[in-house]
Chains A and B, each alone.
Chain A
Amino acid sequence: MNRAIKVIVGLALLLLRPAYTADQWSQFRGSQAGVAADDPALPESWSATENILWKIDVPGLGWSSPVVWDDHIFITSAISAGQETPPTKGLYDPGDEHGKTKSSAVQRWMVYDIDFKTGKIRWQRELHSGAPPIPRHVKNSFASETPVTDGQRVYVYFGSIGLVAALDLNGKTVWTKDIGAFDGRSGYGMAASPALYKNRLYIVNDNATNAFIAAYDTQTGAQIWKVNREETESWATPLVWENELRTEIVSAATGKIRSYDLEGKLLWELKGMTNLDTPTPFAKNGLVYLSSGYPGTAPRPVYAIRPGAAGDISLKPNETSNQYIVWYQPLLGTYNTSALVYGDYYYTLLDRGFLLCHDARTGKQIYGRQRIATDTSGFTSSPWAYNGKIFLLSEDGDTFVVQAGPEFKVLGKNSLDEMSLATPAVANGSVILRTQSKLYRIARKAP
């Protein structure tokens, strides 16, 4: 085979190979920040009865997302022995305590492995039981951190009890580690998921007494390094960003965005986030996107940052970009949802039910605030996309289907009629969607 043919064959193979594997969704929002590989088997419409391959009841309460590896679906939950204050849909002022709620009931912190094909529980493990040492927001849960898997083990983190654990795919506990349970400034509980990169598990725990980011050995759970941070609370999952220059860990928080190298050395930082910070950083098109948008404050920034930054890259007054900040929008940040870059566009799902679209590379507005529907309770789940469509799951359990591209158009609404805050997984031609009490596998049924 001469060189030209080799190149052509190589290119053809590259084109045939999916950009990323469609049968795994190993972490919160998958490996592509909510974008799934196109697949004609993936559904565009469903209801409680239509295109549901199976549904199961999930005991307890957990707003963590499902993750998928081959025929394993992993989810977590906390089962209360008592009566918990039920969460209420919508964005609202919960009153004097701002939603802080303390549970004295014994909880059981659970991990489930569910058979992808049948929906049967393959195994379940109780990792801890007891009264939670810290409070939570009435809309949070004690199992809001999404597990992560490398196909050998599933790693779970329960910040409310400070427990990290690794289980093999047969459900055997490989190791557990107590890293401490700490209360945040507002007493809203924990939610930042662990991040996995090669043989290390990275955890951010921002709290009022001992905020830190730390790396743990995936085989043993041994702490490799730990760096303290001046933060008091945040819920953003850290991102391991493999860019053209290096691999770094980007973490958004109330005080600052920080990026660390893989040994915990601070590379760069950026001030200017809002006082409650939840959206997860993600990377696309060679840029990392960061957002923070508690609606009761301003600015509510979105930053797009190129690789290679060093030191303090904060914008100076009246600046909207600098050497590393490619673009900045002062009022585009979201409260709970993470944004989506799909194709050339950056989509913002505002928690109060609007979608906006910007050019992902320049930040230029493509379309402004578009109301998704007049009858929604708000959005907490992050958007996802495939087959040229964007999916927006409301707290009511309604998934709005919106066409991707420069023109806003709602194509449909798929209702499951139960409160939903978890971001679904998409794998093997199916959407794995978790509502408050159920887990659904949704796919086009063969005609």
Chain B
Amino acid sequence: MPGKFAQAALLCAGAAGIWAQTLKFAPVASISLPADMIKVQGHSAYIAGAKAITVIDVSHPEAPKRAGSYTFPDKIWGFRVVGSLVYVADDLTGLEILDVSNPNAPVLRGSFKTKGQAKAVVVLGNKAVVVDHMQGLDFFDVSDLSKPVFQSSLFLDGYARDIALSGSIAYAVDSPTGFYVLDLAKPGPPDFAASLQAANGQVVAAGPKLACVPGRAGLQIFDVSDPASPTLASTLKTPGGAPVRVALRGTRAYAADGREGLQVVDLSNPTKPTIIGAYKTTDPARDVEVSDSLVFVVAGSGQLQILRETQ
């Protein structure tokens, strides 16, 4: 008898979970290419796969079309698209700046060999910040794209892993647990506005009031409404257990949750995140981007899947 009660309780819990998931997604299209990470801007999706950035024309999402690509000397660990430029953290080659004004024929505009391994990059105006495995955060003046000028570095205690930007506020993470906040608009030598030892992941995504760190602990949600005193609001154990990357849009987090595909999390109450939608990709989801009602998911190591939110 106790077994039956337990079974009934599980069914109820399962039903509650299903009803909580109100968002549905329908596949729109997919395209095969080497793919590790994605960024979307306008009608273009930028796919980093191994050493190459490939531009995909998604102006007609149901028929994505490959445009140009550019192959760098080393593995791409992170990148950002700013206007018609792609800033690439290219391993031991360092910072690379790619001009994609003509998406069919990207052109390298400049580069700078960082001392250590470049892992991620953000850009604010003429300032680029490169996550350097060796040095921490490297600051560059990129006024002249052809000659980025190294200005200074800021040491992180552990291995520097990733950085994300919201407005002028940057959030960096290191291994094992560092979470750092700094204001890139602040004049003078760069310094941390705040730091805490609470992060448990190697990537970070940021919005105006929240930052998310996916990792083995699950999805960590940091309340950064006061950037000078960030707090870990909650940690959500996702169905996949170890979300790989996450995109933040408003009060939603779209998590690439490995074998469990896409998970959409409502963060209206950051202390009580709730999964409100999911989509099981054919291969493990590794990165995700959101643009209007479209969700772009990198799955496995060779596929971009485009989904549309249907309700």
Chain A hits for B135, CB < 8 A: 352
Nearest B residue (CB) for A296: B175
Interface centre among B115, B117, B119, B155 (most CB of A within 10 A): B115
* A–B pairs, 11, beta carbons within 8 Å: A90-B134, A92-B117, A92-B134, A295-B175, A296-B159, A296-B175, A354-B155, A369-B155, A371-B155, A374-B115, A377-B134
Which A residues have a C-beta under 8 Å from some C-beta of B?
Answer: 88, 90-93, 95, 295-298, 331, 352-354, 369, 371, 374-378
Given contacts A295-B158, A295-B159, A378-B134, contact A88 B177 (CB under 8 A): no
- Kindly state the separation between the CA atoms of A374 and B151 in the bound complex, as whole angstroms: 11
Q: Give 8 closest A-B pairs by Cβ, nearest first.
A: A92-B117, A296-B175, A296-B159, A297-B176, A298-B176, A295-B159, A92-B133, A295-B158
In the complex, the answer to whether B155 meets A375 with C-beta atoms within 8 Å is no
In the complex, the answer to whether A375 meets B115 with C-beta atoms within 8 Å is yes
Interface centre among A92, A353, A378 (most CB of B within 10 A): A92
- Kindly state the separation between the CA atoms of A93 and B161 in the bound complex, as whole angstroms: 10
Q: Digitize B190-203: 1 where CB-to-A-CB distance is under 8 Å, 0 elsewhere.
A: 00000001000000
Interface residues on B, range: 10 to 19
Q: How far is the CB of A413 from chain B (nearest CB, A)?
A: 16
In the complex, the answer to whether B155 meets A92 with C-beta atoms within 8 Å is no
In the complex, the answer to whether B115 meets A90 with C-beta atoms within 8 Å is yes
Q: How far is the CB of B44 from chain A (nearest CB, A)?
A: 28
Nearest B residue (CB) for A94: B117
Q: How far is the CB of B104 from chain A (nearest CB, A)?
A: 30
In the complex, the answer to whether B115 meets A88 with C-beta atoms within 8 Å is no
The B116-165 residues at the A interface (CB cut-off 8 A) are 116-117, 119, 133-135, 153, 155, 157-159
Chain B hits for A91, CB < 8 A: 116, 133-134
Chain A hits for B157, CB < 8 A: 295, 331
Say if the beta carbon of B80 comes within 8 Å of chain A.
no
Say if the beta carbon of B259 comes within 8 Å of chain A.
no
Nearest B residue (CB) for A89: B92
Chain A hits for B133, CB < 8 A: 91-93
Say if the beta carbon of B75 comes within 8 Å of chain A.
yes
In the complex, the answer to whether A352 meets B175 with C-beta atoms within 8 Å is no
Chain B hits for A297, CB < 8 A: 158, 175-176
CB-contact partner of A352 in B92, B119, B134, under 8 A: B134
Q: Digitize B30-69: 1 where CB-to-A-CB distance is under 8 Å, 0 elsewhere.
A: 0000000000000000000000000000000000000000
- Kindly state the separation between the CA atoms of A331 and B117 in the bound complex, as whole angstroms: 23
In the complex, the answer to whether B92 meets A95 with C-beta atoms within 8 Å is no
In the complex, the answer to whether A298 meets B75 with C-beta atoms within 8 Å is no
The B91-119 residues at the A interface (CB cut-off 8 A) are 91-92, 115-117, 119
Nearest B residue (CB) for A371: B155
CB-contact partner of A90 in B116, B159, B175, B176, under 8 A: B116
Chain A hits for B134, CB < 8 A: 90-92, 352-353, 377-378
Nearest B residue (CB) for A91: B134
- Kindly state the separation between the CA atoms of A88 and B133 in the bound complex, as whole angstroms: 14
Chain A hits for B177, CB < 8 A: 298
Chain A hits for B116, CB < 8 A: 90-92, 352, 377-378
Q: Supply 19 further A-B pairs (C-beta < 8 A) apart from A92-B91, A93-B133, A378-B134.
A: A88-B92, A90-B116, A90-B117, A91-B133, A91-B134, A95-B75, A295-B157, A298-B177, A352-B116, A352-B134, A352-B155, A353-B134, A369-B155, A374-B115, A374-B153, A376-B115, A377-B115, A377-B116, A378-B116
Chain A hits for B91, CB < 8 A: 92
Q: How far is the CB of A437 from chain B (nearest CB, A)?
A: 21
Nearest A residue (CB) for B153: A374
CB-contact partner of A298 in B92, B115, B158, under 8 A: B158
- Kindly state the separation between the CA atoms of A354 and B157 in the bound complex, as whole angstroms: 11
In the complex, the answer to whether A296 meets B158 with C-beta atoms within 8 Å is yes
Q: How far is the CB of A126 from chain B (nearest CB, A)?
A: 35
- Kindly state the separation between the CA atoms of A369 and B155 in the bound complex, as whole angstroms: 10
The B63-98 residues at the A interface (CB cut-off 8 A) are 75, 91-92
Chain A hits for B197, CB < 8 A: 298
In the complex, the answer to whether B175 meets A92 with C-beta atoms within 8 Å is no
Interface centre among A296, A354, A378 (most CB of B within 10 A): A296
Q: How far is the CB of A332 from chain B (nearest CB, A)?
A: 11
Nearest B residue (CB) for A92: B117
In the complex, the answer to whether B115 meets A92 with C-beta atoms within 8 Å is no
Q: How far is the CB of A354 from chain B (nearest CB, A)?
A: 8
Q: How far is the CB of A376 from chain B (nearest CB, A)?
A: 7
Given contacts A95-B75, A297-B176, A352-B135, contact A90 B92 (CB under 8 A): yes
Q: How far is the CB of B180 from chain A (nearest CB, A)?
A: 15
Q: How far is the CB of B117 from chain A (nearest CB, A)?
A: 4
Q: How far is the CB of B200 from chain A (nearest CB, A)?
A: 12
- Kindly state the separation between the CA atoms of A296 and B161 in the bound complex, as whole angstroms: 10
Q: How far is the CB of B176 from chain A (nearest CB, A)?
A: 5
Q: How far is the CB of B245 from chain A (nearest CB, A)?
A: 16
Chain B hits for A88, CB < 8 A: 92
Q: How far is the CB of B148 from chain A (nearest CB, A)?
A: 16
- Kindly state the separation between the CA atoms of A91 and B177 in the bound complex, as whole angstroms: 19
- Kindly state the separation between the CA atoms of A95 and B91 in the bound complex, as whole angstroms: 10
- Kindly state the separation between the CA atoms of A70 and B48 in the bound complex, as whole angstroms: 58
- Kindly state the separation between the CA atoms of A286 and B119 in the bound complex, as whole angstroms: 44
Given contacts A88-B92, A352-B134, A378-B134, contact A93 B119 (CB under 8 A): yes
- Kindly state the separation between the CA atoms of A295 and B155 in the bound complex, as whole angstroms: 12
Chain A hits for B117, CB < 8 A: 90, 92-93
Q: How far is the CB of B16 from chain A (nearest CB, A)?
A: 38
- Kindly state the separation between the CA atoms of A377 and B114 in the bound complex, as whole angstroms: 10
